[in-house]
Amino acid sequence: MAQESLPGTTDRRLAGLLTLLAENATIIISGARIAKEIGVSRSTVWRWVERLRGLGVKVKGQTASGYFLMLKQRLKGSLFGKRIFHFFKTDSTNRIALELGHAGEAEGAVVLAEEQTAGRGRAGRSWHSERAAGIYATLLLRPKLAPVQAPLLTMMAGLSAHSAVQAVTGLKVDLKWPNDLLIRGKKVGGILTEMHAEPNQVRFVIVGIGLNVNQEKFPGELASVATSLHAETGKPQARMELLVRLLREFESDYNRFLREGAASVVERFESVSSYARGKRVRVTNGTESYAGTTAGLGPEGLLQVEREDGRVTAVISGDVTEAR
Ligand code: BTN
């Protein structure tokens, strides 16, 4: 009797199929690729997908277009499991989330893309968004905060991403104020928060998170400054696992921030970021560029830098780079 027909056992190749589907759950994966990777015919893949459906596993698509499981299932009961807008290709998930925010979409909506053609980075830069290689996600929030507190959400998101990446991959990740995730000094992720606010009250905030997961190389000058989790671990990483963990960490950090205020974020950031204290840095903003040593974060999360002449400046905007 073939193993796959034994009651109650999971055939090794069927388990392979489940793993592939789980690991590629936010992308389309073709029936042909599944068949090739687990070494069965396409018609067997189709039969098994039907069997999985019979067992209650939600698999979308047909052999022609591929399959993907819904992230929603994994996020049942969570703030981010209610409304998920998934795009195979879009210009920017931040742009879509802003539109949703203006249209009155509720807190917790998630916009996800496999590929962005105009991914936005900080300071008007673009965000390289290779198809199905990274996580490109934007979350819509409606916190009762004053606009000055909103930047803390960027730092908080960095902390959530930091925890998720470390937990899933075992890699040691650093945070560069205010929003860069670094591994061995190279950028592996970034956060871009945009908001719509009245003078004293935030209407909504969108938190865009970009994570380099399975990129094997980066174009042009990015090659020397960017890295991916695949490059750092030497093996492909499951975007689904990372995203689920990230959204769960985010939800618990967000609730804690709303409950406990800025201190919870500031203290945690100081404890995990090598940039928070005692780092020689150069700060460059629209008007000046100066060197100094970091001296912790202020109560609203602003980075304090002691300049060479002894003056301490709070960095409000600008780029902070390590000065050697
Ligand atoms: C940075 O410059 O470090 C911030 C990068 C933020 C990129 C993400 S990818 C998902 C979301 N959509 C965008 O257009 N940008 C953010």
List, for residues 109-165, the tens digit of each pLDDT value. Answer: 999 988 899 999 998 899 999 988 999 999 999 999 999 999 999 999 999 999 999
Beta carbons of 92 and 116 less than 8 angstroms apart: yes
* pLDDT, position 41: 82
Give residue 31 CA to ligand 1 midpoint distance, Å.
31
* pLDDT, position 225: 96
* pLDDT, position 22: 64
* pLDDT, position 186: 97
Beta carbons of 62 and 23 less than 8 angstroms apart: no
Residue 39, Cβ density class (10 Å: 0-12 exposed, 13-18 middle, ≥19 buried): exposed
What is the per-residue pLDDT across 90-101, written as a single tens digit (0 to 9) for each? 999 999 999 999
pTM confidence score: 0.82
Give residue 160 CA to ligand 1 midpoint distance, Å.
15
* pLDDT, position 4: 35
CA 295 → CA 162, 251, 281, 308, distances in Å?
22, 29, 11, 12
Phi/psi for 128 (5° steps) reads: -65, 120
* pLDDT, position 67: 35
Q: Which tokens sit at 291?
A: 């060197």
Whether residue 136 has its Cβ less than 6 Å from ligand 1: yes
Tell me which residues of the chain have a pLDDT lower than 70: 1-15, 18-30, 33, 37-38, 55-70
* pLDDT, position 20: 67
The DSSP H or E segment spanning 244 is helix 239-260
Residue whose CB lies within 8 A of the most ligand 1 atoms, among 136, 192, 319, 321, for a mutation test: 192
Which residue has the least CA distance to atom 3 on ligand 1?
A: 190
Give residue 32 CA to ligand 1 midpoint distance, Å.
32
Which residue has the least CA distance to atom 9 on ligand 1?
A: 210
Give residue 299 CA to ligand 1 midpoint distance, Å.
26
* pLDDT, position 63: 38
* pLDDT, position 280: 97
* pLDDT, position 6: 43
* pLDDT, position 139: 98
* pLDDT, position 85: 86
